[in-house]
């Protein structure tokens, strides 16, 4: 799983590098690409270099490399989706809002054996999502998150938190909790806090083998003893 995800991320990064290099090369000639979509990027580049033989040659070479990378990336993404469908633990995590095949596989591959964590609260710290602490004498400073551990998992959890907070998610206590934090501390800190909370939730789901519950279970009312 980790090798598959690493290869996918590598192809994605190389394609992005080519796109940014093309933008940079053309900018040197006063040609600004501007906003594009993955589908309109190629046409926009050809439009800008039209009539300039050397730039056409450069652009065609880089666009051909981009096409190859895109084709291989799509093949790996198909493999990622198939792998996620075959993995019961990943399918379990995908019942959580904001968690898709890539995020689910990333978390499962990194956790491996959920039993190696004595408490779900340790997972956030393991992936560097807890604040740094400096204490000396009367000094007690809380800094930014430590960013230790697997950066890919940290990024995946942050992306899931961003999806939960910015897209419609009905009936989820997680979203309400995150919005409450955002109101007090701002959106950025809320996403980090929600990512940390998601790490605990996803680990607990793997331990218990239970799907995501949008709302916490309410305790059953106690029976009133007959007089």
pLDDT digits (tens, 9 = 90+) for 49-79: 999 999 999 999 999 999 999 999 999 999 9
> pTM of the full predicted structure?
0.80
Average pLDDT over residues 207-219: 78
Q: How far is CA 152 from CA 7, 48, 65, 149, 206, in A?
A: 13, 36, 26, 9, 19
d(CA 57, CA 150): 41
Identify which of 178, 196, 197 has the alpha carbon closest to the alpha carbon of residue 187: 178
Q: What is the pLDDT of residue 135?
A: 47
Q: What is the pLDDT of residue 140?
A: 41
Identify which of 191, 152, 162 has the alpha carbon closest to the alpha carbon of residue 99: 162
pLDDT in tens, 2-44: 999 999 999 999 999 999 999 999 999 999 999 999 999 999 9
- Residue with structure tokens 């600004």? 32
- Retrieve residue 87's tokens: 């993995």
């Amino acid at each position: 799983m980790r090798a598959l995800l690493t290869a996918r991320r590598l192809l994605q990064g190389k394609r992005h590098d080519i796109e940014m290099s093309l933008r940079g090369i053309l900018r040197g000639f006063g040609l600004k690409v501007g906003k594009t979509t993955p589908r309109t990027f190629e046409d926009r580049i050809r439009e800008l270099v039209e009539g300039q033989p050397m730039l056409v040659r450069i652009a065609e070479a880089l666009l051909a490399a981009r096409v190859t990378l895109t084709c291989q990336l799509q093949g790996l993404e198909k493999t990622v989706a198939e792998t996620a469908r075959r993995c019961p633990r990943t399918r379990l995590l995908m019942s959580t809002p904001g968690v898709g095949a890539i995020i689910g596989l990333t978390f499962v591959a990194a956790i491996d054996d959920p039993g190696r964590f004595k408490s779900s609260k340790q997972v956030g710290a393991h992936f560097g999502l807890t604040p740094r602490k400096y204490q000396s004498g009367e000094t007690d400073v809380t800094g930014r998150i430590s960013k230790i551990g697997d950066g890919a998992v940290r990024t995946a959890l942050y992306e899931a938190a961003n999806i939960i907070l910015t897209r419609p998610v009905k009936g989820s206590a997680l979203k309400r909790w995150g919005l409450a934090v955002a109101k007090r501390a701002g959106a950025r800190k809320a996403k980090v806090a929600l990512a940390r909370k998601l790490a605990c939730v996803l680990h607990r789901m793997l331990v218990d083998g239970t799907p995501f519950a949008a709302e916490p279970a309410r305790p059953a009312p106690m029976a009133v003893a007959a007089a």
